[in-house]
A and B are shown apart, each in its own frame.
Chain A
Amino acid sequence: MGGDNISPIDFNDPKIASLPRILLMGPRRGGKTSIQRVVFQKMSPHETLFRLEATQQLERAIVDHTPLCRFTVWDFPGDYYGEDDENNYDNDNNNNISTGDSVFVGDNAATSLIFVVDAQDEPYDHVLQSFTNAVTRALELNPNIVIEVFINKVDGELFLSDESKYDCRRDIMTQVTDELTDAGVSPDSIHIRYHLTSIYDHSIYEALSRVVQRLIPQLPTLENLLNVLVSTCSMEKAYLFDVVSKLYISTDPGPVDMQSVELCSDMIDVVLDVTPAEDLEEDMVDPDSAYDNKSASVIRLSNGMVLYLKEVDTMLALVCITRAENFRKKSLINYNIGCLKKALRALAQPVPTTENGH
């Protein structure tokens, strides 16, 4: 939707074509488009119930808010698994869908295949059969493809308890393993990650964050930088958030706590809500303005923790969780974050510049 309003994007542009790709596949009404809309276009989850129609053809969108986190999202029609039917090949071609097997092969870019399964639509065997077919074909063509399964719609009354979610995940994992074994693929040779997601809570952001992190080539360095920051400033945890999509693109290697991520992402909401919208637009156009001085925020929690948000790059926010007693020397922390900022700028330099999509 949002993409349509702006001038059309030429996805054959080599700059864009070389971006990492996220392919959304899965059965009809599995929630692929909903996921895409909710996360990347900020549609309200409830709206997806009635505002979305079945996706008829491939919809591609570019996510390019910040230079470090750029990729394209390919939203396929339901039940399309890259089959290459000879009959409708031309047909598809006319529709400007890059068809068939080629979708799995990104142009030198990391490709991630997200298979969205509707958890509320049992039984899964048929769906998972087509999934294994798609996986085997994708792996033949692109051995480096990353395969993720989103067990979507784990909400509502069917999944009130956590146990039912885990049972569902276990079922699906078992079935996939069986299917893969039947298909003659060793299940151990493929690493499929399973995520329990729902667009109504934070789980979809968490899952997509993990997917996106795999697509970022600079991730080790980012992780590193955050790690240094965290240890020098005695922080508990630091996240780099893409402000627009609210996905965190990196964190330090310590264990990730869902609640803290949620807290940080809520904090971004707060900051965005408080900041007038025009300011943001302006800043997106002109990143060299005194933006970072403005967009910083400190929230003190009642348990002695401090949430500190600071803008470090175009639409990229650093959110730290730190103890109050370690937050006293704020200027030093700011200095260190300044160092991080410089490093991030430098890190983004070799990559082609960002403002293509805007």
Chain B
Amino acid sequence: MTTPDTKNKTAIVASLPVDRSRPINPYSSLTLSPKGHHALVAGKDTIQLVSVGPNGLGLLKSLKIANHFTAAASSSSSPGSNETRNQQQGYGDVRDAFQQQASAVTAGVTNMNLNQQYGNIIVTKVAWSNDYYCPPRPNHLQQHQHSQRNSSGMGDTGMDDSLPIINTEMEEAAGSNGVVVVWRAKRLLFSDYGKTNATNTKNKSGNRFNIAGGILSEHTRAVNGLAWHPTRSGLLLTASQDATVKLWERRAIKHSQSDEQKDRDLQEQEQEQQQKSWFSMVGGVVGSENKYTWRCKATFSVGDAVRDIRWNKLIPDVFGVVTASGNLVIYNMHVSIKALVKIAAHTGDASSLDFHPQRPFIVATGGSADRCVKIWDLESSLKFIVNTNTNRNIHHHYQNNHENSNSTWTSTKSNVSNDSANSSESHTSAAGPSNKDITIRSGSTASGWSMGGRHTKSTNSRFSKHVLSVSASVTQVLWRPPSNDFQEFMADRHDSMLAVATARLTSAGGSGALSLWSYNRPYMSLSIVEGHEDGAIADFVWLKTPKTIPKFQIEIKQFYPAARRASTDVSSGSRYRKRTESPTTMDDSSLDTRERTQKDDELAGESSSVSYIWQNVLSVGRDGQCIMQSFARGERRIRSVPSSVFAMANLSPFQAGYGSLQCFSLYQDVPNRVEDDFMLTALRQDKYTAQAPGVFREDDLQNSISDTDKKAQGGRKLFPSLVPQLVFSVVDQGSLDADGMPIVNDENALCVAPEVVHLSRFADSYKMYPDAECPTRVDLCLYNSKVAEELKCGSLARMWKTISSLLRGSGLEGLPSKTPTGPTNAFQFVIFPTIKSLLLERAEAGDVQTIVALCEVLQVIDSGGEQTLIPSLSVKLVREWYLSYIDLLNQMCLFSAAAFLIKNCKDQAVAALSQQSTTIHESCPRCGKPIDPVADSSDNGYNNTGGIASSSARKVCKKCRRRVGMCFICHEPVTGMYVWCPGCGHGGHMSHAIQWFGGPDGKAIRTVCPTGCGHNCNLFSQMATAFPRTTSMAASAADQCQLITN
């Protein structure tokens, strides 16, 4: 296991043995017992109890749910509706493809019979409630419950038939699905083990199939989600496909105080009595063994099929759901008519949500259709719930609770004070929510709950805080549980982490992966485990690994305090002895004892501050596997992120370093030693986890690291800094030395694409039109040749030289016209094909700069602009070259060069470029009416430069008869160059503006508007940036300025 980077299977810590000879049984759901030592996995129509312990996973018991319902059905067989009967006849015998296959192998025949007889029951979700009562007695009141969505078989009718006792008005629910069944975990799961157990035999004497504690069947469609209230027992939320969420409440039944009560301990009896004193009784009696009845307390109509449901563990009585239409809806348990928050979170299906375990307002939602996980901060809309003005401070409450219940469960990080059983049981719905106390750590506000009447408008605010691009459809999201392991040096760094289960394709299967994400790294997961072979991951849970060394285990086995045993559970003594006799028997007592032992380990550890390391996940998938995987061993792609290199060509004359090409290497320090995993992913494999008592042994990776490694680090752990640091190093500055090679600081630097760098320099220095210095075109060519030579482009220099000699030899100024007049010489006949092939060759090479320079120097386009002087060279082709060159110049912000070229180009199409998008629409500053340029007939378009400005000078607003277009300094009409401040709209002559504000020569004079409007125009800075900083351009700009000011 020293190579955690290798794929797939290595991440599996333990797995439930799968009988390969038998067909796979896809799992649908998974839940942990409150202590985390057992897990309940639900398959198609079976539930399996799995032990989670140091020895890995073990299948303890497998229950066919159908059994339980058939018995109930046979006891009372009232006919269903027509529909139901039809279904029974028509559909009761759907055959399981795999069971038929299995019939050859094992007792498949009976299975098939069962299946045919009992119909099709599909368990969609299981949820094991918290242990609300006295923690020293594990498992006593744990309830496991269980929803199923299928009714078309007899098994389902069985369920329905037992219902009328509870509520006779539910007849029409018969034949529909969405039934939730509640069991007491101990009875259902552990009763059949110990044959000598007094309690269980008593149970068996009754109707053993009637042990379901409650059958909740008000949903008309499949139940997709279940959630037990985190702190109060007997409150259950069910979320269904039928667009409703129902809140169920367990109530005691009066006459259920039967002899069975004796089995219960004293404490619970008190609670029972207390309950009776608090609850009004409803008349329903489910069976003699049931002390409770379930009542639907509230129905929340969500509006669309509900996909997942969770309680907020930090804000009491608040829960959230996500719907099939992608909405995230947050409700208060007591207000069913109105949602606290409703957000369109995802497009398409949203598959799951999870509240952050430590921050009350953070919630993560996973979208299966849009393939991302979004993290929302709902503080703005939920904070009114958490009222800070309460004097009902709760820390002492927490203390009391701690003492009362002997609970050692809490840690310093646990935020919700575990309500004592008393307060939660005595809590009635009518009492309102204000007797619920919580502590919320973040923000250190001890707070009570108030049902704020304030309406939060969730409409305008967008809450999305982070979006993780998972790029696979998300099936489940779970935040990583908090750990207190990191206090010593910094805040909990893995509170940003969440595990995401994905399926490659939502409905079309594909194997799923579990990945660990941090919202600080939204594009790459921290760790991926891909143990499931194919089929999406149906459900998963985090498993904790306590860090302490299990030295207490032995002690407790030997010196288990008898007094305590007696005080907690009367019957446990005998069971305990039984365990010692046959420790291998998987019976009820051994389970009990094991839980107790392990729990006591935790208790003992608690005093020495147990911290848990959350790095294992237990997952079930549609491939019929139930495996436990460790993120610490998963594939970590982030480790292998190479440092990247990118180049940035600075071709903008507006910026310093103009004309340079810079290569950057980017290196982000990703810690990649094994020890660093701990910081990177908050996953760790070290000697603590290796010896952890709980749950799974890890290979001690740290020990396997060579000692040299440790020495190199000086024996201490190095933690990366909080903020990942980016290291830039410039490879190539792009400046040229005397040899024309780039100057770099680093000798390892590369010389990248000098042509690109040179393009702007060429554009700056080429001369294309005769002037005083170069009166003839031959001179122009020689000059350009010199330019190319300076820039170390020898071939270009030679080309220019050749052309110059061609021209000189022909004795002509420019290209000869097509119909030569006067004396001709041989060069004139050579020059056309030479130039043409030269142009085409350069075009082949993509060198539009040279082409355009050549064309301009030689005036290839004749003065009419209709055709080229070179025969059989299409003017369209030449135009293309021009346009692409101008485009190139504009891209490089060489606007002046581009404009110069456009202005001087003979081709009409190119020359018209400067006239595009030059219309300025003006409106009268007084009355605001637009001044119609068409109305001014004297101005025929925009051919003359400054035509608009001059036209506006002649303009008079038709509405108010005022002249418009006056200079803000001289109050004369503006002709010529015109500047205006886009802020206040005032403007005037360019020259006046330069005088007022200061100009490109570098000095700012004033910044405020000369009209006295008070606007801080600061036109100087705009003008300064409007003029390029290159020397040549700065010079020309200065000339311009000179011209203007003079």
A interface with B by C-beta (< 8 Å)? 162, 165-166, 169-170, 173-174, 177-178, 186, 188-189, 191-194, 196, 218-221, 223-225, 227-229, 231-234, 236-237, 253-260, 303, 305, 321, 323, 326, 329, 332-333, 335-336, 339-340, 342-347, 349-350
Contacts and interface: CB of A to CB of B under 8 A. Distances in A.
Given A221-B83, A231-B44, A232-B97, A346 B89 contact: yes
Contacts of B368: 255, 257
A9 to B, nearest CB: 28
A221 B173 CA distance: 11
5 contacts: A220-B177, A224-B152, A228-B150, A256-B349, A257-B349
A167 to B, nearest CB: 10
Closest 7 CB pairs of A and B: A191-B303, A346-B86, A343-B90, A237-B507, A343-B91, A257-B506, A342-B90
Interface in B289-316: 301-305, 307
A228 B153 contact: yes
A227 B122 contact: yes
A321 to B, nearest CB: 5
B325 A225 contact: no
Interface of B: 24, 26, 44, 82-83, 86-87, 89-91, 93-98, 100-101, 120, 122, 124, 149-153, 175-178, 220-222, 224, 241-243, 301-305, 307, 324-325, 337-339, 342, 344, 347-349, 351, 368-369, 459-460, 473, 505-510, 534
Contacts of B242: 220
Contacts of B302: 191
A253 B149 contact: yes
Contacts of A339: 90-91, 93-95
Nearest to B176: A220
Nearest to B474: A255
A223 B222 contact: yes
Contacts of B153: 228
Given A221-B176, A224-B222, A188 B339 contact: yes
Contacts of A193: 303-304, 325
Contact of A227 (B96, B149, B369, B508): B149
Contacts of B510: 303
Contacts of A260: 505-508
A330 to B, nearest CB: 10
B90 A335 contact: no
A189 B302 CA distance: 10
Contacts of B83: 218, 221, 347, 350
B152 A221 contact: yes
B120 A231 contact: yes
Nearest to B534: A323
A186 B120 contact: no
A342 B92 CA distance: 10
Contact of A234 (B90, B91, B97, B220): B97
B507 A236 contact: yes
Given A193-B304, A255-B324, A257-B506, A224 B349 contact: no
Nearest to A239: B507
Contacts of B349: 255-257
Contacts of B351: 255
B509 A346 contact: no
Contacts of A329: 97, 100-101
Given A229-B94, A342-B91, A332 B100 contact: yes
A220 B508 contact: no
Contacts of A259: 505, 508
Contact of B347 (A162, A188, A257, A347): A162
Contacts of A233: 97
B509 A174 contact: no
B351 to A, nearest CB: 6
Contact of A224 (B151, B301, B304): B151
B337 A188 contact: yes
Nearest to A188: B338
A231 B149 CA distance: 12
Given A191-B301, A224-B149, A254-B507, 17 more contacts: A174-B460, A188-B337, A188-B338, A188-B339, A189-B338, A221-B151, A232-B95, A232-B120, A234-B24, A255-B324, A257-B349, A257-B505, A258-B369, A260-B507, A321-B507, A335-B95, A347-B90
B508 A321 contact: yes
Contacts of B87: 221, 225, 343, 346-347
A255 B506 contact: yes
A164 to B, nearest CB: 12
Q: Which interface residue of A194, A218, A231 has the most chain B CB atoms within 10 A?
A: A231
A247 to B, nearest CB: 17
Given A257-B473, A333-B97, A225 B91 contact: yes
B149 A177 contact: no
Nearest to B351: A255
A192 B303 CA distance: 7
Nearest to A169: B344
B180 to A, nearest CB: 15
B222 A253 contact: yes
Contact of B508 (A174, A303, A340): A303
Contacts of A231: 26, 44, 120, 122
B102 to A, nearest CB: 12
A332 B122 CA distance: 19
A333 B176 CA distance: 24
A55 B942 CA distance: 48
Contacts of A305: 508-509
Q: Which interface residue of B175, B505, B508 has the most chain A CB atoms within 10 A?
A: B508
Contacts of A350: 82-83
Nearest to B329: A188
A169 B153 CA distance: 42
B52 to A, nearest CB: 26
